[in-house]
């Protein structure tokens, strides 16, 4: 792996895809100094800058309020939007969404203030099932907003930083019914489970049931995601490259975690952050300074050097 800036300075880059947490943002979730000036420079050079994250696309848009024309890869690749317009998306089948709701209700602690209609065996856990004691909940991620039926303060505090548009509902099954019957114009593009502790056991008991038929991943210590088979940041980036007429040789990618690997494979100028996991460091061609050292900004300045 190469870390010498002279090995990539002056490359003819037209597209830059950047993971957010652990890559562009520092450990305190702050943007790196010099980012605004860099984005101005990229725009002047005609280089498309793309935040690519597991976060909701509306959250990403809200994070860049002064950049209305930006392109975003949201929900780990389930949706791509450019200047507020959808470029691509990959909805989940509603049968899987229904069963996921049932499983989460079965294995999570009873929701504070839950109605009997949601918590009885007929609507939630199968009759005779043994409820586990996982302190977690489900986020049903639509194109328009995220839907939750767990509404206690602790859960919402964990959800809303990543899902800026979140709607609290009495019954997620009714949301699914309304989508299926065309009463609301919506499509579900991702399911996410959150656990107050290590998410692994809770995720395996719920969304992990669909790992063979769908795209399942532990995305963070407290989060796990389920999407349509084959959906990832790499597929989304490939669709965007085709849309823009950009080649992998004109693309730079920055990442730090396993959900960035597919994206790294789509770019000749692939950068692992100094703080990246071992598999990302092994897959990337170049090494960037850490997220706490404004590594993305440092490297892009070198890339843009005349």
- 72 with 60: CB under 8 angstroms? yes
Q: Phi and psi dihedrals of 191, rounded to 5?
A: -115, 140
- 179 with 188: CB under 8 angstroms? yes
Residues 6+ apart with CB under 8 A from 108: 132, 134, 135, 136, 137, 138, 150, 202
* Averaged pLDDT of the chain: 91
- Summarised one tens digit per residue, pLDDT across range 240-255 is 999 999 999 999 999 9
- Summarised one tens digit per residue, pLDDT across range 68-98 is 899 999 999 999 999 889 999 999 999 999 9
Going by pLDDT thresholds of 50, 70 and 90, the confidence category of residue 1 is confident
Span 151-171, mean pLDDT?
96
Strands annotated E in the chain: 15-19, 48-52, 71-74, 79-82, 85-89, 136-142, 146-148, 166-168, 188-195, 215-220, 223-227, 251-255, 269-273, 286-288
- Summarised one tens digit per residue, pLDDT across range 211-241 is 999 999 888 889 999 999 999 999 999 999 9
- Summarised one tens digit per residue, pLDDT across range 99-135 is 999 999 999 987 654 544 444 433 444 443 445 579 9
What is the DSSP secondary structure assignment for residue 67, as one 8-state letter? -
pLDDT recorded at residue 125: 43
Q: If 0-12 CB within 10 Å is exposed, 13-18 middle and 19+ buried, where does residue 122 land? A: exposed
Span 279-287, mean pLDDT?
96
pLDDT recorded at residue 111: 61
């Amino acid at each position: 792996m190469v870390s010498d800036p002279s090995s990539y300075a002056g490359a003819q880059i037209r597209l830059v895809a950047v993971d957010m947490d652990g890559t562009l943002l520092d450990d305190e979730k702050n943007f790196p100094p010099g980012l605004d000036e860099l984005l101005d420079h990229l725009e002047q050079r005609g280089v498309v800058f793309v935040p690519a994250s597991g976060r909701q696309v509306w959250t990403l848009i809200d994070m860049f309020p002064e950049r209305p024309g930006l392109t975003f890869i949201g929900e780990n690749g389930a949706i791509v939007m450019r200047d507020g317009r959808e470029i691509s998306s990959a909805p989940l089948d509603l049968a899987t969404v229904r069963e996921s709701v049932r499983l989460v209700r079965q294995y999570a602690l009873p929701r504070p203030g839950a109605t009997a209609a949601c918590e009885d065996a007929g609507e939630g856990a199968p009759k005779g099932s043994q409820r586990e004691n996982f302190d977690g909940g489900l986020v049903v991620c639509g194109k328009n907003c995220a839907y939750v039926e767990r509404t206690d303060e602790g859960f919402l505090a964990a959800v809303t930083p990543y899902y800026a548009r979140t709607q609290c509902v009495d019954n997620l099954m009714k949301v699914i019914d309304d989508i299926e019957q065309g009463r609301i114009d919506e499509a579900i593009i991702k399911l996410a489970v959150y656990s107050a502790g290590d998410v692994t056991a809770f995720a395996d008991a719920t969304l992990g049931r669909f790992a063979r038929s769908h795209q399942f991943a532990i995305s963070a210590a407290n989060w796990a995601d389920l999407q349509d088979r084959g959906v990832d940041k790499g597929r989304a980036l490939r669709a965007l490259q085709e849309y823009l007429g950009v080649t992998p040789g004109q693309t730079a990618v920055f990442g730090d975690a396993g959900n960035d690997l597919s994206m790294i494979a789509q770019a000749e100028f692939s950068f692992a952050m100094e703080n990246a996991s071992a598999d990302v460091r092994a897959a990337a061609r170049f090494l960037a300074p850490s997220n706490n050292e404004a590594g993305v900004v440092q490297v892009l300045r070198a890339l843009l050097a005349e």
